[in-house]
């Protein structure tokens, strides 16, 4: 008779953990830049806003659901992104964006002033929050 109570308690604990995980709202990553990334037919070679670049070994690319994407699955495609470089100057972390998200971010902070960067980070936080709220529905 006691076994079913133990199983019920374990199931309830698992379900509450899953419910909490869905409520996580991630903040915008720091030190990122928006770009259109065109992945060549032979990754790790990419073009960022028309300039040749390269993905780092072990580069992490995250899709709209924050799931990891292999660079080979993007071969031959152009995608809207924000990206971050590693210490060697190679593209190391990439977050894929929708066209609407990129349009909200595009061109912000291009002047190089501090206010533009702050506005870019505010907009990026809005994008991540909107994704999190859409995931809860």
**CA angle 98-69-61, nearest 5°?**
70
- Report the number of distinct structural domains present in the chain: 1
Q: Distance (Å, rounded) from C-alpha 48 to C-alpha 29?
A: 18
Q: What is the pLDDT of residue 10?
A: 67
Range of the structural domain that residue 114 is part of: 33-136
The token duo for 47 is 């073009």
Residue 83 lies in a domain: yes
Give the percent of the chain with pLDDT over 90: 40
Number of neighbours of residue 94 by Cβ within 10 angstroms: 26
Low-confidence ranges of the chain (pLDDT < 70): 1, 4-28, 106-117, 136-137
Residue pLDDT, tens place only, 40-51: 999 899 999 999
Q: What is the pLDDT of residue 12?
A: 65
Residue 40 lies in a domain: yes
Residue 18 lies in a domain: no
Query: Hey, is 26 helix, strand or coil?
Result: coil
Q: Distance (Å, rounded) from C-alpha 111 to C-alpha 59?
A: 28
Residue 106 lies in a domain: yes
How many CA atoms lie less than 13 Å away from 60 in the CB half-sphere? 8
Looking up tokens 């912000």 gives: 108
DSSP string for 74-128: GTT-EEEEEEEE-TTSSEEEEEEE-HHHHHHHTTTTTT--HHHHHHHHHHHHHHH
Residue 24 lies in a domain: no
Residue 28 lies in a domain: no
The token duo for 123 is 């907009």
Nearest to 43 by CA among 31, 56, 32: 56
Residue 20 lies in a domain: no
Residue 10 lies in a domain: no
């Amino acid at each position: 008779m006691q076994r079913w109570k133990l199983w019920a308690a374990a199931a309830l604990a698992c379900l509450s953990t899953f419910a909490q995980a869905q409520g996580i709202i991630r903040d915008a990553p720091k030190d990122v830049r928006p770009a259109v990334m065109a992945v060549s037919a032979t990754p790790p070679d990419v073009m960022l806003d028309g300039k040749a670049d390269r993905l780092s070994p072990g580069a992490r690319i995250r899709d709209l659901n924050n799931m990891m994407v292999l660079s080979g699955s993007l071969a031959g495609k152009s995608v809207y992104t924000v990206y971050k470089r590693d210490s060697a100057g190679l593209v190391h972390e990439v977050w894929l964006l929708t066209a609407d998200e990129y349009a909200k971010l595009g061109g912000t902070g291009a002047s190089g002033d501090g206010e533009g960067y702050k506005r870019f980070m505010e907009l990026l936080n809005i994008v991540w929050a909107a994704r999190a709220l859409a995931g809860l529905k």
